[in-house]
Structure 1
Amino acid sequence: MLEILYHDADCTAVNKPAGMLVHRSWLDRRETLFVMQTLRDQLGQHVYPVHRLDRPTSGVLLFALSSEAAHALSQQFAQKSVEKNYWAVVRGHLHGAGCIDYALKEVHDKIADAFADADKPAQSAVTGWRCLAQTEQPFASAARYATSRYSWLELTPRTGRKHQLRRHMKHIFHPIVGDTTYGDNAQNRAVAAHTGSTRLMLHARSLSFNRLSDGLRINVAAGADEAWQGVAQAFGWAEAV
């Protein structure tokens, strides 16, 4: 059963578990559990995804309950009237707040995007960030240092490029913990040994949109899962989760 965070006549928001695919994909033909099919069976009706989260990312995921509602909600995303906020745990210490404005080239899948234009120019990509907490842990993750530093960030994507948050954090040399594609594998191994968690430390914390029936602003928030809370406790942040 999926945790339902919000429900009305037009849409439903759920707390997507980390490691669960949103829908069927050729990328993993052996997988049998998907958010879309699970929610359809749970509600007893068709559902329509209006945005996506990467498989290893947890948090707020919004579905429409009709094709008309899907179009209207998708328009809100396209017009940038939807606000998304994420939590991330990254390597190193970041202070205060800032903005990453760094254009990104499209990420193509080898098979699905075999005929895509590889020479297409990079697209504008902007991410706001704010530091929520920092820690220095008494274990080594690099040969030069006896301790390891981490920051807990709030990330606000202002554009919606594929893997934007993960790629932007790599760009500023503060990769997200647990990221096996854009991250620091030595850090990932060190954190796993210290906390027991191998998950990507990226969580879609909240999503705000305008309700279709009356335009009321709706803010949906998702709690962090047990693995996330375990890392937070190990890093001394448990009281803030």
Structure 2
Amino acid sequence: MAEELSILWHDEHLVVIDKPPNLLVHRSEIDRHETRFAIQILRDQIGHRVWPAHRLDRGTSGVLLFGLSPEIAGALAHQFAAGTVDKRYLAVVRGHPLLAGSIDHPLSRQRDDYEFRGEHSSDAAQPALTHYRRLATIELPVAVDRYPHSRYALLELEPVTGRRHQLRRHLKHIAHPIIGDATYGKGRHNRYFAEHLNCRRLLLACSELAFTHPFSGTRLPIKAPISGEFAALLTRFGWSTEQ
């Protein structure tokens, strides 16, 4: 049977899916060996071409928007660029951050290998802002790192800007990297979660987006349930995402 994606919203103008972890949105020069892409799977599933309005990292799961025409995708992308899309992410991080805070830390521009670089383009750092709120914590009697106990926390994240890998880079910046992040995280903690807690994915999910429908003008809040290894870990730790 053909692979199918979980559809959260579908009308004649746009479609919203719950992207599983470890699925690329589209073909990438970095992962040339990959043959599975959300664009291709969704196109085959609904029988219509789709255009992504934004991006989620390969390892990140959750709400992902597509337009059913380049114009609709462009209108949605403009909302992201203008900062009018409300975004809620959930992440499991190392350590116990403050109860709430903001990470106001510029990030250098990261480009795709195939991205055009104009004569006046720059890779200089761009303003980047993330708000966070701590939802739950746990301390395990295990010496994963140099301490006799290991601390972890569940965070709600709100990226105000949309820089590439912003959440992963920002949480590394405050020394609370996301578990399962092979690039910006801590290998010892990633391995502990994989080998002892049966959790091998990046623990970052876009749980909710709210945007204005480009055609009707109505505000659409779309939620994606936490599932799979992420959900199993929340249950194991006794954590709730509704606070």
Q: Could you state the TM-score of these two structures normalised by the residue count of structure 2?
A: 0.92
Match of 2:136 in 1: 133
Query: How far does residue 238 in structure 1 lie from its aligned partner after superposition?
Result: 6.1
CA–CA separation in structure 1 for the residues paired with 2:144 and 2:187: 9
Match of 1:12 in 2: 15
Match of 2:218 in 1: 216
Change (3 A) 1:128 1:212: same
1:92 to 95, 104, 117: 95
The AA in structure 1 aligned to 2:157 is L
CA–CA separation in structure 2 for the residues paired with 1:12 and 1:36: 11
Q: Secondary structure at the match of 2:107?
A: coil
CA–CA separation in structure 2 for the residues paired with 1:115 and 1:208: 32
Q: Secondary structure at the match of 1:27?
A: coil
Match of 2:237 in 1: 235
Match of 1:186 in 2: 188
Match of 1:198 in 2: 200
**1:27 aligns to 2:19 (yes or no):** no
Match of 1:103 in 2: 106
CA–CA separation in structure 2 for the residues paired with 1:139 and 1:187: 11
Q: Secondary structure at the match of 2:201?
A: coil
Change (3 A) 1:67 1:235: same
Q: Secondary structure at the match of 2:26?
A: coil
2:62 to 34, 59, 62: 59
Change (3 A) 1:25 1:223: same
Query: How far does residue 76 in structure 1 lie from its aligned partner after superposition?
Result: 1.1
Match of 2:160 in 1: 158
RMSD: 2.0
**Given that residues 159 and 167 in structure 2 are in contact (C-alpha distance below 8 angstroms), is that contact kept between their aligned partners in structure 1?**
yes
CA–CA separation in structure 2 for the residues paired with 1:72 and 1:228: 32
Query: How far does residue 193 in structure 1 lie from its aligned partner after superposition?
Result: 2.3
Q: Secondary structure at the match of 1:136?
A: strand
Query: How far does residue 240 in structure 1 lie from its aligned partner after superposition?
Result: 5.7
Query: How far does residue 63 in structure 1 lie from its aligned partner after superposition?
Result: 0.2
**Given that residues 135 and 241 in structure 2 are in contact (C-alpha distance below 8 angstroms), is that contact kept between their aligned partners in structure 1?**
no
**Given that residues 81 and 162 in structure 2 are in contact (C-alpha distance below 8 angstroms), is that contact kept between their aligned partners in structure 1?**
no
**Given that residues 87 and 208 in structure 2 are in contact (C-alpha distance below 8 angstroms), is that contact kept between their aligned partners in structure 1?**
yes
Match of 1:176 in 2: 178
CA–CA separation in structure 2 for the residues paired with 1:199 and 1:135: 19
How many corresponding residue pairs?
Answer: 239
Query: How far does residue 124 in structure 1 lie from its aligned partner after superposition?
Result: 0.1
Query: How far does residue 113 in structure 1 lie from its aligned partner after superposition?
Result: 5.6
Query: How far does residue 67 in structure 1 lie from its aligned partner after superposition?
Result: 1.6
**Given that residues 98 and 128 in structure 1 are in contact (C-alpha distance below 8 angstroms), is that contact kept between their aligned partners in structure 2?**
yes
1:69 to 68, 72, 77: 72
Match of 2:85 in 1: 82
Gap regions ≥5 residues in structure 2: none
Once structures 1 and 2 are overlaid, which stretch shifts more, 223-232 or 178-187?
223-232
